[in-house]
Structure formats: structure tokens, C-alpha cells
Amino acid sequence: MKISVFGLGYVGCVSAACLAASGHEVVGVDVNPLKVDLVTRGQAPVVEERIGELISEVVRGGALRATTDVSAAVAATEISLVCVGTPSAPNGSLSTVYLERVSEQIGRALTTKAERHTVVFRSTMLPGTCADLLVPILERASGLGAGHDFGVAVNPEFLREGTSVRDFFEPPKTVIGEFDTESGDVVAALYAGLPGQVFRVPVAVAEMTKYADNAFHGLKIGFANEIGAICRALGLDSHRVMDVFLADSKLNISAAYLRPGFAFGGSCLPKDLRGLVYAARRADVSVPLLAHVLPSNEDHLRRAFELVAAAGSRKIGLFGLSFKPGTDDLRESPLVELAERLLGKGYDLRIYDANVSLSRLMGANRDYIESRLPHLGDLLTHSAADVLAHADVCVVGCKDPAVLGALDDAGDRTIIDLVRLPDADARRAHPGYVGLGW
Ligand SMILES: NC(=O)c1ccc[n+]([C@@H]2O[C@H](COP(=O)([O-])OP(=O)(O)OC[C@H]3O[C@@H](n4cnc5c(N)ncnc54)[C@H](O)[C@@H]3O)[C@@H](O)[C@H]2O)c1
């Protein structure tokens, strides 16, 4: 393919050189003439493993050249990869000025092109930036329509500085946010033959994946370092602790606990987080990340309460009460907390949980529920259908088969889904269905 790459920084340079090395014909474009001169002379404008040799090789072989001339670059290519910077603005927001400028320039260059051109954004940008900001600029500047006259896609980049050339040829995954299928096909063809799963998703989903990744990476490093700080204060070697932690690929280094759902609870996580944060405080170790896990969980519970309040009816059916499926443990269950708040605000509540029967509750579990929901006996029903019959608003906190069956007859009732029901994809299209985090 004939490809123009806009922005010859870390991302652009590596993409341009690697695509040229893969057999494509590439022209790099930058506003900075020094970078263009360096590439033209076969030198890399950035320091990266293998990039020096690679640029020298592909420039010598004629597969890569560089220019400051946007129109010529767009005219000579079928696809433009936009890799300009998106730095933080002074207030912390994402600056899109370079993206806006380059979209304007490419849009103007499109006016002189007869063939369909595809504009692919590789820069990191917040969901909505492409469709709401950049596509209108491209359309205004070109007088053409995105999706039919020219293609648009978002293709975030997951390379690590330092090993980015290696990462390009062995990507962890390829994400293609396609404005239309034809645009997605063009990007998919660009990376054909590379390993890793390919995800073709809506444009805004592609934009968001990059933030989910980077937020998680930062979170992991902060977590490890806080555990390290606590270990040091307690005279422990954190690396011995994390060796054990990392060996657990069932619960720790796994997909477990990473699907958005309802708040956590139960007899262990809240208690142990409180205990650990208290121990850190006693040792004068600041652990802001760990200290904010319970407040974050509390905010999530509040979001669920606010969704119920916004539904506008006082007749509520709560499906599920224990802290997780397959148990009748009610201790620190977020559903008990939600029920308590709803009752406190005067909502008319009925509850169904296949695993919870008042007569079978005992010990600490019984004491807990008697102190939190003393009238549980009046609220708890024996069938999901009874709860449905009572409710205008169904709050779904479990995926018990009896509950799924009852919800089939929910009609036009509001469904507030806290657990991502199996048919959530289809339900999302219907008014009256509200997902807690989707
Ligand atoms: N650096 C990384 O490892 C990395 C990894 C993944 C994603 N990203 C994202 O990729 C994007 C680029 O990052 P980077 O580190 O390569 O940035 P960078 O600052 O190194 O390079 C950006 C380049 O764009 C050029 N530029 C600005 N406006 C231009 C225009 N109108 N036309 C042509 N060139 C123009 C600049 O002169 C500069 O050379 C950012 O959104 C970043 O968040 C970076």
C-alpha cells in the first residue's frame, strides 16, 4: 500500500519504518523540518532499539521518504496514519490542537483527490474525539462525506517506547475502530500477517481501549509500589510477597474481577482492605490508592441507588440479596446496603434471592441481617414472579435462572441491571433497560 504517516515522533517514526520494512511505500510528514531532514538522510529522529538501522535501510531502499508537503503526501498515497502528539493541556485535559490542525490539512488535500482515501488516527484520544471533532473538520475542509467519499478509522497503538520496533512486529493485539466496514478492511489489510488478536469495534470503543490499558498499567504499578511500601515498613521483602501473588493465574493475573458489575462486598474484601489500610496508617505509610478502594466501591453503590431514584417509581423489586451468587452470606453484601438505603428513603421494596431463606440464616449472618434489615421477613418473597408482580422497577443483582425467567415477562417495566444480564446486548437497545456500567 501507499501510506502517508503524519507526525514523525516515537509512534509515527516506528510505524513508518516498520510499514516500509513490511513492503509498503511510505512517506513521512512532519511540520518540523529538522525531523524531515533527518529521515531524508536515513537517520532516526528518535532513540529506540533498532530504529536507526531500520530507517537507514528503508530510506536507502526507497521504501520511506519524508516531506513537509501535506498535499503531495496525501495525493501520492491511499491511506494516512495520523500519529501527531496529544499532550496534556495545562488544566489536565487532552490537547487536540495538533489533531485538529492535521485533520484540516488532510481535509483540504482531499479536495484534489479523485480516489477514495482513508484517514486513520493512531494518536491517543478520548472517546468521541474522532466522530465529534475530527470527522466534522475533515468533512468541512474537504466538502466530502466520511464513510462514503473517504474512509475514517481509529487504530490506537500499543507499542512500548524502548521496544517499539519489536512490539510492532509482535503486537499484543490490533484494535481497529471502523467508521465503516470498508475503512476497517483497509486498516486490517495493513497489518495482515502480524500475530495477535484483531478487534474490529466501533470508533469510540477503540478510542477507549487505549485509556483502559494505560489506566490499568498505572494502577498496577501504583498497587505494586504501595504493597512494597507497606512490606518495607513491616520489614518484609515485597518481592517474595509478589512472587506468590504473581504465581496465582487463577484469581490474580487473570481475567477475574475485571468485568464491570456491581460493588464488591462480603465478609473478606471490605474487612481486609480496612485492616491493611489501617496497618499502613499506623506505620506512617501513605497508600492513597489502597485507601481509596473502599470509597470507590461506595461511590459505585451510590450510582446504583441514584439509578433507582431516577427511575421515578417507589415500587421496587430487588432480585438478589447475598453478596455473590451461590451463597446465602449477607454480611457486607452491597445488595443489603442498597436495600437498606431504599427502605430508608421510603421505597416500597420486595426481595427475591433463591439462596436466602430467613428460617435457614444463622450465626453471624443472621445477626448481621437482623441489625441491618430487621423486617426482612416482610420483604422477602418465595418467588421471583411475586417480586415482578409488585415492581415497577426491577433491580437485578443476580443471574439466577428463576430471575432470568421472571424478567422475560417484565414487559415495559424499568430494568436496572447491576450484573450484566446474559441478554444485555439485546436489552440495551430497549428504552427502560439501564445498565450500571455499560
Ligand atoms: N510514545 C509512545 O510510546 C506512545 C505509545 C502509544 C500511543 N502514543 C500516542 O501517540 C501519539 C503520538 O505520540 P508520540 O510520542 O509519537 O508524539 P511526539 O510528540 O514524539 O511526536 C508527534 C510529532 O507530530 C508532529 N506534528 C505535530 N503537528 C503536525 C502536523 N500538523 N503535521 C505533521 N506532523 C505534526 C510533531 O512535530 C512531532 O514530531 C500521542 O497521542 C500519544 O499519546 C504514544
What does the pLDDT look like over 129-138, one tens digit per residue? Answer: 999 999 999 9
Q: With a cut of 90, say whether residue 435 has pLDDT above it.
A: yes
The set of cell numbers assigned to 174 is 490490533
What does the alpha-carbon distance between residue 130 and residue 149 come to, in Å, rounded to a whole number? 17
- If you measure from the C-alpha of residue 192 to the centroid of ligand 1, how many angstroms do you get, rounded to a whole number? 24
What does the alpha-carbon distance between residue 327 and residue 321 come to, in Å, rounded to a whole number? 10
- If you measure from the C-alpha of residue 185 to the centroid of ligand 1, how many angstroms do you get, rounded to a whole number? 24
DSSP state of 132: I
pLDDT for 338: 97
Domains in the chain, ordered, with CATH? 2-203 (3.40.50.720), 296-435 (3.40.50.720)
What does the alpha-carbon distance between residue 265 and residue 320 come to, in Å, rounded to a whole number? 13
The string of pLDDT tens digits covering residues 19-50 is 999 999 999 999 999 999 999 999 999 998 99
Please name which of 101, 107, 75, 52 lies closest in space to residue 4, comparing C-alpha atoms. Answer: 75
Alpha helices by DSSP H, 164-285: 164-169, 181-190, 203-233, 238-247, 269-282
- The burial of 327, by beta-carbon neighbours within 10 Å (0-12 exposed, 13-18 middle, 19 or more buried), is given as middle
Query: Counting atoms of ligand 1 from 1, which one is nearest the CA of 160?
Result: 3
Going by CA atoms, what residue is nearest to atom 27 of ligand 1?
A: 84
Q: With a cut of 90, say whether residue 404 has pLDDT above it.
A: yes
Residue 268 is a catalytic residue: yes
The pTM for the full model equals 0.94
What does the alpha-carbon distance between residue 342 and residue 25 come to, in Å, rounded to a whole number? 63
Alpha helices by DSSP H, 146-202: 164-169, 181-190
Mutation to probe ligand 1, out of 84, 173, 209 (largest number of atoms < 8 A from CB): 84
**315 CB under 6 A from ligand 1?**
no
Q: With a cut of 90, say whether residue 171 has pLDDT above it.
A: yes
DSSP state of 391: -
The string of pLDDT tens digits covering residues 185-198 is 999 999 999 999 99
Residue 361: pLDDT band with limits 50, 70, 90: confident
Q: How far is CA 365 from the centre of its chain?
A: 36
- If you measure from the C-alpha of residue 177 to the centroid of ligand 1, how many angstroms do you get, rounded to a whole number? 19
The string of pLDDT tens digits covering residues 191-243 is 999 999 999 999 999 999 999 999 999 999 999 999 999 999 999 999 999 99
Out of 13, 18, 268, 394, the active site residue is: 268
pLDDT for 298: 97
**297 CB under 6 A from ligand 1?**
no
Q: How far is CA 315 from the centre of its chain?
A: 34
What does the alpha-carbon distance between residue 394 and residue 350 come to, in Å, rounded to a whole number? 10
Residue 267: pLDDT band with limits 50, 70, 90: confident
pLDDT for 245: 98
The string of pLDDT tens digits covering residues 273-313 is 999 999 999 999 999 999 999 999 999 999 999 999 999 99
Residue 357: pLDDT band with limits 50, 70, 90: confident
**Percent of the chain residues topping a pLDDT of 90:** 92
**171 CB under 6 A from ligand 1?**
no
What does the alpha-carbon distance between residue 393 and residue 432 come to, in Å, rounded to a whole number? 9
The amino acid occupying position 164 is S
Q: With a cut of 90, say whether residue 96 has pLDDT above it.
A: yes
pLDDT for 149: 97
pLDDT for 360: 86
The string of pLDDT tens digits covering residues 379-389 is 999 999 999 99
Lowest average pLDDT, out of 92-101, 119-128, 238-247, 319-328, goes to 319-328
- If you measure from the C-alpha of residue 341 to the centroid of ligand 1, how many angstroms do you get, rounded to a whole number? 49
Residue 434: pLDDT band with limits 50, 70, 90: very high
Q: With a cut of 90, say whether residue 359 has pLDDT above it.
A: no
What does the alpha-carbon distance between residue 8 and residue 29 come to, in Å, rounded to a whole number? 7
The string of pLDDT tens digits covering residues 372-381 is 998 888 999 9
Instruction: Give CA separation, 305 vs 147, 308, 312, 395, 400, in Å.
Output: 41, 5, 12, 10, 22
Q: To which residue does cell 420486595 refer?
A: 350
- If you measure from the C-alpha of residue 124 to the centroid of ligand 1, how many angstroms do you get, rounded to a whole number? 9
The amino acid occupying position 121 is F
- If you measure from the C-alpha of residue 2 to the centroid of ligand 1, how many angstroms do you get, rounded to a whole number? 21
Please name which of 371, 320, 310, 369 lies closest in space to residue 345, comparing C-alpha atoms. Answer: 310
Please name which of 100, 166, 168 lies closest in space to residue 137, comparing C-alpha atoms. Answer: 100
Contact of 99 with 120, CB cutoff 8 Å: no
The string of pLDDT tens digits covering residues 148-164 is 999 999 999 999 999 99
Q: With a cut of 90, say whether residue 74 has pLDDT above it.
A: yes
What does the alpha-carbon distance between residue 156 and residue 203 come to, in Å, rounded to a whole number? 10
pLDDT for 39: 98
Residue 250: pLDDT band with limits 50, 70, 90: very high
pLDDT for 365: 87
Mutation to probe ligand 1, out of 83, 120, 126, 129 (largest number of atoms < 8 A from CB): 83
3-class DSSP assignment, residue 197: strand
Mutation to probe ligand 1, out of 5, 11, 138 (largest number of atoms < 8 A from CB): 11
Residue 82: pLDDT band with limits 50, 70, 90: very high
pLDDT for 41: 97
Query: Counting atoms of ligand 1 from 1, which one is nearest the CA of 6?
Result: 33
What does the alpha-carbon distance between residue 74 and residue 118 come to, in Å, rounded to a whole number? 10
Going by CA atoms, what residue is nearest to atom 11 of ligand 1?
A: 123
Alpha helices by DSSP H, 49-202: 51-60, 70-75, 97-110, 135-142, 164-169, 181-190
The string of pLDDT tens digits covering residues 387-401 is 999 999 999 999 999
Instruction: Give CA separation, 82 vs 70, 240, 414, in Å.
Output: 12, 44, 43
What does the alpha-carbon distance between residue 59 and residue 365 come to, in Å, rounded to a whole number? 72
Instruction: Give CA separation, 11 vs 118, 179, 220, 245, 335, in Å.
Output: 19, 22, 24, 34, 46
End-to-end C-alpha distance for the chain, whole angstroms? 38
